[in-house]
Structure 1
Amino acid sequence: MSDSVKPRARGADKRRRLMGAAARVLHEQGVERTTIADIARAADVPVGNVYYYFKTKDELVQAALAEHSEHLARLTGELDRLPDPLDRLRALVEAWVSQRETAAQYGCPTGTLAVELDKRTEGGMDLEAGRVIRLLLDWVERQFRELSLPAPDDLALTLVASYQGMSLLANALRDPEIMTREGARLLHWLDTLPTGPAHPPS
């Protein structure tokens, strides 16, 4: 590797570490409580170096949203390898439940960030957070559409809203078992859809 390539590789690594740290720290602490120094420390990057990549905390918030979007793309990309759309949806629910301890402690990464950003009066980043959630909704809707179920958009809304709701309750009550119980209910609901009426879980 040439000397000119090494600094670029190191720079890309620092930027990636900062993005990952921003997503993690903002999820754990929230936007208002998080400082650039907090993110720098979590990424093991000197504070002064952060400004080379991100000029403001808002840029780091945008980086965190991009990280959430990339994480979702990786997850759905893995799920798309499954041949059956119903199996993909089941695996999605199981992935949510596997994060129950984190959800109970901090809530849904994108959902909590979207709620916090919505309370700001400027910046428009609440819309960016909404776009990440929209990506999830669109992917889920495609699975229901492949199953030839009626009203796939409504079914997608039901599934994603259930996830947001169980994450919120698990966090509010600090009870990860809410994710386990509600996840089992969603899996049962999914199993009834191909052969039964497409009703929301009750």
Structure 2
Amino acid sequence: MTNSVNRRARASQKRQRLTAAAARVLHEQGVERTTLADIAREADVPVGNVYYYFKTKDELVQAALAEHSAHLDELTGRLDELTDPRDRLKGLVSAWVDQRETAARHGCPTGTLAVELDKRTDGTLDAEAGAVIRRLLDWTATQFRTLGLPTPDDHALTLVSAYQGMSLLTNALRDPTVMTREGERLLRWLDSLKPAEG
């Protein structure tokens, strides 16, 4: 019984290593340039093991999207511990700015994947990438709504669009200071927002 439990635990850990590796490699290299062997090498497992857990590259892309979604849940879960929704939003912006070096090299993990998948004509993975971004928009809109701001969905769209824009420019210019400067501007904007008068 114990051996069976240990085998399942090892298999789960190996699958998780492959999923995390897929998220990293696909972000760094893109879907088309990434091979299953690249992901196996990053996860430090034999390439045959990749096929055991994931039959196709698309399954690995789905796993990577699930990993991005889990990172989003982890981040928003930590931010939800803050009592003030404005502080949660400012924490989100700070988390984005903290990733400026990665953004300079590779852009936003989910945003770049969504753009690349949109160019493919053979599936629905682009919609799955869009769903991760939709979850970020929904969480952000909830914070603006809790602050009592009018048009919380519009504010969320403005904030997430600003993030995608600053990620893209940081990557295109290979300049992490773009993210820093835009992040500071977004923090000032968040501080300036006032709830609607009752």
Which contiguous aligned blocks of 4+ residues in structure 1 show a shift greater than 6 angstroms?
A: none
Aligned 1:30-109 pairs, distance under 5 A:
30-109=30-109
CA RMSD of aligned residues (A): 1.3
Aligned AA (2:155): L
Tell me the residue number matched to 1:200. none
CA distance in 2, matches of 1:134, 1:42: 29
Structure 2 portions without partners, runs of 5+: none
Q: Normalization by structure 2: what TM-score?
A: 0.97
Q: Quick check: 2:105–2:171 contact (8 Å CA) kept in 1?
A: yes
SS where residue 90 of structure 1 aligns?
Answer: helix
CA distance in 2, matches of 1:154, 1:41: 43
SS where residue 4 of structure 1 aligns?
Answer: helix
SS where residue 22 of structure 2 aligns?
Answer: helix
Aligned AA (1:169): L
Aligned 1:1-202 pairs, distance under 5 A:
2-194=2-194
Deviation of the 1:194 alpha carbon: 2.3
SS where residue 97 of structure 2 aligns?
Answer: helix
Deviation of the 1:45 alpha carbon: 1.0
Q: 1:196 to 1:145 in 2, by over 3 A?
A: closer
Structure 1 portions without partners, runs of 5+: 198-202
CA distance in 1, matches of 2:195, 2:35: 51
CA distance in 1, matches of 2:165, 2:158: 10
Superposed CA deviations along residues 52-86 of structure 1, whole A, max 9, x for unmatched, are 11001110000000000000000000000000000
CA distance in 1, matches of 2:167, 2:18: 26
Superposed CA deviations along residues 13-64 of structure 1, whole A, max 9, x for unmatched, are 0000000000000000000000000001000111001111100111000000
SS where residue 149 of structure 1 aligns?
Answer: coil
Q: Quick check: 2:147–2:195 contact (8 Å CA) kept in 1?
A: no
Count of equivalent residues: 197
Q: Normalization by structure 1: what TM-score?
A: 0.96
CA distance in 1, matches of 2:45, 2:74: 25
CA distance in 2, matches of 1:55, 1:110: 22
Q: Quick check: 2:20–2:67 contact (8 Å CA) kept in 1?
A: yes
